[in-house]
Amino acid sequence: MTAIDNDLLLERQLCFGLSVASRSVIAAYKPVLAELQLTHPQYLVMLALWEQAPRKVKDISAALLLESATLSPLLKRLETLGYVTRQRSTADERALAIDLTPAGAQLRTKALSIPGTMMARLGLDRDSALALHKTMMTLIDAATHADAQEESSAGTDAG
């Protein structure tokens, strides 16, 4: 097999490695997050709110790179759990403001152990976890930049 032929081996596909790694890591989070009654996507929403609350749905959506249609059911479930409130923004009635309840704010204290627990479960120390995170963020930035370039060139082709 030539080097170019080897490029099509499943084991060399970046998308395959990322997909399996993503599923595996999220599965490793599941029992840890179950203690907080959170799914992984709900945990990501709570992380965004622990950084800054209240936040508009649009801001959470941008922070998590999620469509608001995907975010809405997560927010409803978090509201049902008693962790967040959803109210129309006083500054802009079209915007929905999400805030932490006292229980949601208190949940942060319980969540403080999650990063350390997950590093231990995945066999990572803090430095290697930070390096891996930096690499993933670079990859995300490159992929979203490529998407934006493709969309802008498609827009100019349409005219």
pLDDT at position 8, please? 86
Q: Do 28 and 61 touch, CB atoms closer than 8 A?
A: no
Number of H helices, E strands in the chain: 8, 3
Whether CATH 1.10.357.10 fits 19-123: no
Task: Write the pLDDT tens digit of every residue in 126-154.
Answer: 999 999 999 999 999 999 887 767 776 76
Interhelix angle 14-34/40-51, rounded to 10 degrees, is: 80
pLDDT at position 4, please? 81
Taking 90 as the threshold, does the pLDDT of residue 112 lie above it? yes
**Percent of the chain having pLDDT more than 70?**
92
Neighbours of 40 (CB within 10 A): 14
pLDDT at position 125, please? 96
Structure confidence at residue 2 as a pLDDT band (50, 70, 90) = confident
Helix (H, G, I), strand (E, B) or coil at 98: strand
Higher pLDDT, 64 or 5: 64
Residue 97's DSSP bridge partners are 56, 87
Q: Can you list the pairs that 58-66 forms with residues at least 24 positions away whose Cβ atoms lie under 8 Å?
A: 58/95, 60/98, 65/140, 65/144, 66/41
User: Which strand (E) or helix (H) includes residue 139?
Assistant: helix 126-158
